[in-house]
Amino acid sequence: MKRVFPILAILTAVLLTYGLYGALIAAPTEKTMGDVQRIFYYHVPSAWTAFTFFFLNLVASVVYLLRRNPKADALALAAAEVGVVFCTVVLVTGPIWARPVWGIWWTWDLRLTLTLVLWLIYVSYLVLRRFSSSGQTPVLAAVLAIFGALDVPLVYFSIWFFRTQHPQPVIGGGGSIDPRMLHVLLINWAAFSCFAILVCWSRYHLEVLSREVEETQALESLLESGSPR
């Protein structure tokens, strides 16, 4: 496994460079939106990556509750952090694109709202982890992750109905996409996924190591206080 890490790092660097070239130069300029549309190559892959990592967090949380394996908990934490970062990228790049194209920064559209609520839930997840004392954190966080997952379909239906009741500016969706654009999009998606896996991996490793250090320190201080002077 140690070997895979540098290989993945090199692959990520190559893919990100190629993705950047594709997004800025190789991909054709969109007819009506112009160059602003190029943010799409970062926005959409970030969204897919964020959702994948939130899902990974849920799986790791359930595994933790069933098996009580501390490594699953470390993975859940790393996945949630990476997911929140990519979700933030989505929420920032979205309005930058929407302002010139829709004429508004934000609309309470289904996908936007769902992403925002997911982001809020996972930020509260990270806050909980930060604020609770070490021993019980994994269980409480895993339970909160399950609650968050249960909430997603309810949010989806509520916003869906909320928005169908009140008409909204039409969102440019569907339609066909130029194959060259799709190519760049997929390259960027692969690059972002590799990058996210890389970051999540390092974070996971760091978390496992720092827990080991903590345990060793606790053990040492216990031994010290126990030994006669």
* Closest approach of another protein to the CB of residue 23, in Å: 33
* Closest approach of another protein to the CB of residue 27, in Å: 36
- Structure-block tokens of residue 200: 């999540």
- Give whichever of 27 and 159 is closer to another protein, judged by the CB atom: 159
- Give whichever of 46 and 113 is closer to another protein, judged by the CB atom: 113
Taking the C-alpha atoms of residue 174 and residue 66, their distance in angstroms, rounded to an integer, is 41
Binding to another protein in span 23-62, by CB under 8 A: none
Taking the C-alpha atoms of residue 140 and residue 154, their distance in angstroms, rounded to an integer, is 22
- Give whichever of 19 and 138 is closer to another protein, judged by the CB atom: 138
- Give whichever of 15 and 90 is closer to another protein, judged by the CB atom: 90
CB atoms < 10 A from the CB of 134, how many?
9
Residue 151 within binding range of another protein, rule CB under 8 A: yes
- Structure-block tokens of residue 169: 């500016």
**Cβ distance 185 to 40 under 8 Å?**
yes
- Structure-block tokens of residue 53: 């990592």
- Give whichever of 107 and 158 is closer to another protein, judged by the CB atom: 158
- Give whichever of 22 and 138 is closer to another protein, judged by the CB atom: 138
Residue 66 within binding range of another protein, rule CB under 8 A: no
- Per-residue binder mask for another protein (CB under 8 A), 104-133, x = binder: -------------x--xx-xx--xx--xxx
Residues ≥6 apart with Cβ < 8 Å to 194 = 8, 11, 12, 15
Taking the C-alpha atoms of residue 163 and residue 159, their distance in angstroms, rounded to an integer, is 6
Q: Which residues does residue 30 pair with via DSSP β-bridges, in sequence order? A: 34
Binding to another protein in span 130-149, by CB under 8 A: 131-133, 135-136, 139-140, 143-144, 146-148
**Cβ distance 119 to 150 under 8 Å?**
no
Binding to another protein in span 152-171, by CB under 8 A: 154-155, 157-159, 161-162, 165
CB atoms < 10 A from the CB of 43, how many?
19
Query: How many amino acids of this chain bind another protein (CB under 8 A)?
Result: 30
- Give whichever of 24 and 146 is closer to another protein, judged by the CB atom: 146
Taking the C-alpha atoms of residue 65 and residue 51, their distance in angstroms, rounded to an integer, is 21
Which residues of the chain form contacts with another protein (CB under 8 A)? Answer: 65, 117, 120-121, 123-124, 127-128, 131-133, 135-136, 139-140, 143-144, 146-148, 150-151, 154-155, 157-159, 161-162, 165
